[in-house]
């Protein structure tokens, strides 16, 4: 069996193990990745490898390390760790490239790779180049094999965080944190101990790649029910949840409100802009119009880019931005940090902000104007039809008065009564939709317009179920 074309996504390589990604094919895939690395960086000699807690990650790690060392490259194996810890290693060790074995928030049957060359994410056409090399069976065999050194990263990573948030030591704020049986569990308990937080409740810190309690995606409310229960039955003032590889964080108020990523981005952007007037904040195309308005009101500059952590990081670097974020709760700080997405670091910045402001999370999020917004609506569909769906929506709205079309990622339609977005997901075979309006009537109208345009491609009952119309 070979790696399916569908596993090569926009920002990573990810698929169902045994179907899209057979484990016995991961050696050849890692050989193609190695060939790509060496084509782009001929002096490459040291690669950092990390893995998440999925049941098949150790077997894939063995194949990856064998491919790298067969090509004469040396490997530092970081152990089971968060994806941000791998990124951290690229800034704090001599490693010149990184391979993280993870499928992030996807269900337990998935796995894959997030890749970095130098300190930059490998994405888009670069991943398609790797797919071409894989299909050509590109292998590099060196005269002398490289070495593998076990170099766990979590102590160094925790040490850096503890040093840079030393002002939070002994914090008595009651907090509940849900590690979701993902690799946040390799960091959060030790970090809380180092910071001497005695009022922190930690849920599901044991690493279990079967995710027995809930899927490790804190942006979905059903996955934060245990956090909600703790908030309602204890004195905890803040609820946090991490995804499977801990590059995202979700936050919940004491009232049980799970805050969308664009609202979190706004409240974290405010003090940064205050300290750095004119600062650039990067957001993705799914973000609320209220976010754009607030950043402008605070004398910041907003840069909207396609959805995806690689797009956010690239734009931050290009535009010299200080903070970037997505609705999906990837947050990338270049202010006081290295400029990569890190759910654990973002959690610390949020805790710091609440502590220093003497306000609750509910107080902070109230700065966001009240709008009628849908969540990100993900509808399973035939992915090959998504370009046609987007073209149909585009053609219709091109002829509507007072309508603006934003085409940086799918199509975002801005009308006098609200906006709607349709785009292909980068992580799963779904079309992703989002809607927003000043009024419930406007929200219903834009949803129904999109539904009518999508009926030729998605059955009516499915559309009604997902759109709530």
3-class SS at 247? coil
C-alpha R_g of the chain: 22
Alpha-carbon separation of residue 447 from 39, 164, 261, 422 (angstroms): 47, 45, 21, 11
The pLDDT of residue 425: 85
CA pair distance 65, 76, nearest whole angstrom: 9
Under CATH, which architecture does the 261-365 domain have? Answer: 3-Layer(aba) Sandwich (3.40)
The pLDDT of residue 375: 87
Active site residues: 104
CA pair distance 445, 214, nearest whole angstrom: 35
Query: What are the two backbone dihedrals, phi and then psi, of residue 311, each rounded to the nearest 5 degrees?
Result: -65, -40
**Contact indicator for 14, 127 with CB cutoff of 8 Å:** no
**Contact indicator for 114, 121 with CB cutoff of 8 Å:** yes
Kindly report, as residue ranges, where domains of CATH 3.40.120.10 are found in the chain.
5-155, 173-252, 261-365
CA pair distance 8, 112, nearest whole angstrom: 9
The pLDDT of residue 289: 93
The pLDDT of residue 385: 92
Kindly report, as residue ranges, where domains of CATH 3.30.310.50 are found in the chain.
373-467
Q: Give 173-252's CATH code, choosing from 3.40.50.1220, 3.30.1300.10, 2.40.110.10, 3.40.120.10.
A: 3.40.120.10
Query: What are the two backbone dihedrals, phi and then psi, of residue 464, each rounded to the nearest 5 degrees?
Result: -60, -40
Q: Give 373-467's CATH code, choosing from 3.40.50.300, 3.20.20.20, 3.40.50.1000, 3.30.310.50.
A: 3.30.310.50
Q: What is the DSSP letter of 224?
A: G
3-class SS at 22? coil
Distance, C-alpha 20 to centroid of its chain: 21
CA pair distance 122, 316, nearest whole angstrom: 16
pTM: 0.94
DSSP state string for 120-174: EEP-THHHHHHHHHHHTT-----SS---EEE---HHHHHHHHHHHTGGGTT----
Question: Cα 462–377–265 angle (5° rounding)?
Answer: 175
Q: Check: CATH 3.40.120.10 for 5-155?
A: yes
Greatest Cα pair distance in the chain: 69
The pLDDT of residue 185: 98
* Residues lower than pLDDT 70 in the chain: none
């Amino acid at each position: 069996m070979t790696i399916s074309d569908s596993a090569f996504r926009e920002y990573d390589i990810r698929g169902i193990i045994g179907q899209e990604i057979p484990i016995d094919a991961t050696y050849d895939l890692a050989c193609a990745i190695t060939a790509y690395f060496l084509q782009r960086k001929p002096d490459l000699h040291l690669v950092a490898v990390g893995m998440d807690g999925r049941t098949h990650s150790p077997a894939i790690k063995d194949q990856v390390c064998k491919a790298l060392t067969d090509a004469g490259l040396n490997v530092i194996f970081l152990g089971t760790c968060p994806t941000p810890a791998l990124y951290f290693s690229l800034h704090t060790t001599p490693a010149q490239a990184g391979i993280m074995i993870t499928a992030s928030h996807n269900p337990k049957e998935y796995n894959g790779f997030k890749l970095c060359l130098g300190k930059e994410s490998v994405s888009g056409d670069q991943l398609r180049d790797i797919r071409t090399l894989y299909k050509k069976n590109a292998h590099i065999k060196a005269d002398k094999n490289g070495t593998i050194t076990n170099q766990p990263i979590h102590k160094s990573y925790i040490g850096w965080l503890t040093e840079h948030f030393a002002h939070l030591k002994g914090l008595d704020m009651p907090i509940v944190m849900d590690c979701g049986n993902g690799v946040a569990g390799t960091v959060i308990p030790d970090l809380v101990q180092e910071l001497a937080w005695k009022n922190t409740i930690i849920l599901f810190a044991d690493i279990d790649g079967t995710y027995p309690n809930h899927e490790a995606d804190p942006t979905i409310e059903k996955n934060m029910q245990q956090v909600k229960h703790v908030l309602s039955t204890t004195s905890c003032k803040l609820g946090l949840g991490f995804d499977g590889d801990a590059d995202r964080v979700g936050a919940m108020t004491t009232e049980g409100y799970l805050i969308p990523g664009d609202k979190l981005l706004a409240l974290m952007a405010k003090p940064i802009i205050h300290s750095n007037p004119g600062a650039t904040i990067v957001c993705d195309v799914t973000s609320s119009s209220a976010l754009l308005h607030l950043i402008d009101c605070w004398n910041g500059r907003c840069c909207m880019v396609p959805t995806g952590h690689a797009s956010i990081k690239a734009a931050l670097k290009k535009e010299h931005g200080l903070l970037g974020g997505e609705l999906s709760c990837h947050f990338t700080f270049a202010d006081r940090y290295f400029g990569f997405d890190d759910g654990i670091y973002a959690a610390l910045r949020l805790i710091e902000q609440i502590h220093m402001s003497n306000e609750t999370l509910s107080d902070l999020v109230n700065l966001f104007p009240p709008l009628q917004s849908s969540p990100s609506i993900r509808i399973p569909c035939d992915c090959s039809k998504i370009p046609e769906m987007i073209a149909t929506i585009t053609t219709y709205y091109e002829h509507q008065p007072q309508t603006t079309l934003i085409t940086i990622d799918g199509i975002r339609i801005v009308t006098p009564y609200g906006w709607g977005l349709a785009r292909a997901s980068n992580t799963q075979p779904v079309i992703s939709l989002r809607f927003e309006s000043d009024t419930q009537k406007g929200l219903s109208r834009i949803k129904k317009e999109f539904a009518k345009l999508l009926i030729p491609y998605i059955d009516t009952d499915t559309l009604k179920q997902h759109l709530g119309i």
